[in-house]
Amino acid sequence: MNPERPLAEGGINGQTGGVRSLIDVQSLARELRGDVVLLDVRWRLGGPPGIEAYRRGHLPGAVFVDLDRDLAAPPGPAGRHPLPERQAFQDAMRRAGVRDDALVVIYDEADSTSAARAWWTLRYFGHQRVRVLDGGYHAWVEAGRPVTTETPKVEPGNFTARPGGLPVLDAEGAAALAKSGVLLDARALERYRGEVEPIDPVAGHIPGAVSAPTTGNVGIDGRFLPADLLRERFAELGATDAAEVGAYCGSGVTAAHEVLALTVAGVPAALYAGSWSNWIADGTRPIETGDQTGA
């Protein structure tokens, strides 16, 4: 399955045609004077739980959203972090105060990995005004902005989840795209090559996929590279706005970061939400190891 791709919304600073995907600290500080829903999505694979960091300090007014509980369905054959059901996601976002007409700004610790998953999921379910704080909590603190331990009182939101806002791939679509277009593997290179696999029971990658670790999307401070550098990076891998592009990872979290980086670069891309953990659930699917076979 490979639905029609939406228009690109990248460009300089992730902006084209008035649609923005990233926001910096200074701009967020200004926006907080208005109607903004602020979501804290700090998370780390294997823990500790992000709520612990939230309780130690968070941006004023931010509501904690749990990636495992609120941004994914329970693990199973569909993957370790399958897409949440429409109603479950809508309920979670309403509890967090998300409204259809409000700007939603999301942050994590620094590199936007988990924030990107929230960004992608909200966009997929139809919310149009969603941005990620570039550099996350670290950037906010380093800029001398205030933090708090106070949990805000949240007025329930009215967000209505409408699936289909961004393109997705299933296993069949990912396999086809790896042959006809560009399928990017967002995991670390060692996992792509099949040299190590610390999480899933089988190592390797989808045949024809191209290695593109998400660590190459950001600098040492966790902020995204400028749009022109991201465009150059992805173009070297064959991923341009003239190609059909998709991304996957282990469970659909870091792949959302890849899609966000591609969006900033002006390259529309589909997400294989089930990713590697779904691919290997069917033992008949082929597996490759070693260096990339793509562009």
* 2 part of a folded domain: no
Q: Is 153 a catalytic residue?
A: no
- Domain identity same for 195 and 88: no
- Residue 261 one-letter amino acid: A
3-state SS class at 75 = coil
Per the structure, the count of domains in the chain is 2
Ramachandran bin of 279, using left for φ above 0, alpha for ψ from -120 to 50, beta for the remaining angles: alpha
Name every residue whose Cβ is closer than 8 Å to that of residue 153 and which is 6 or more positions away in sequence: none
Sheet architecture: strand order including 270-272: 168-169, 270-272, 245-248, 182-185, 210-211
* 84 part of a folded domain: yes
User: What is the per-residue pLDDT for 291?
Assistant: 87
- Candidates 19, 22, 249, 265; catalytic one: 249
Whether pTM > 0.85 for this model: the answer is yes
* 252 part of a folded domain: yes
- Domain identity same for 87 and 200: no
Asked whether 75 and 274 are in contact (CB, 8 A), the reply is no
The 10 Å CB-count burial string (b at 16+, else e) for 78-92 is bbbbbbbeeeebbbb
Residue found under tokens 């969006």:
263
The whole domain housing 98 covers: 12-142
- Domain identity same for 108 and 174: no
Domain CATH number, residue 261: 3.40.250.10
The whole-angstrom separation of Cα 111 and Cα 45 is 14
Q: Where are the alpha helices (DSSP H) in the chain?
A: 25-31, 50-56, 67-70, 86-95, 113-124, 136-142, 171-180, 189-193, 227-236, 254-264, 275-279
User: What is the per-residue pLDDT for 292?
Assistant: 65
- Domain identity same for 112 and 199: no
User: What is the per-residue pLDDT for 222?
Assistant: 95
User: What is the per-residue pLDDT for 293?
Assistant: 47
- Residue 162 one-letter amino acid: R
Mean pLDDT per 10-residue section of the chain, whose length is 295 residues: 32 40 96 92 92 97 97 97 98 98 97 97 97 98 97 96 98 98 98 96 97 97 96 98 97 98 97 98 97 55
- Domain identity same for 79 and 186: no
* 291 part of a folded domain: no
- Domain identity same for 175 and 255: yes
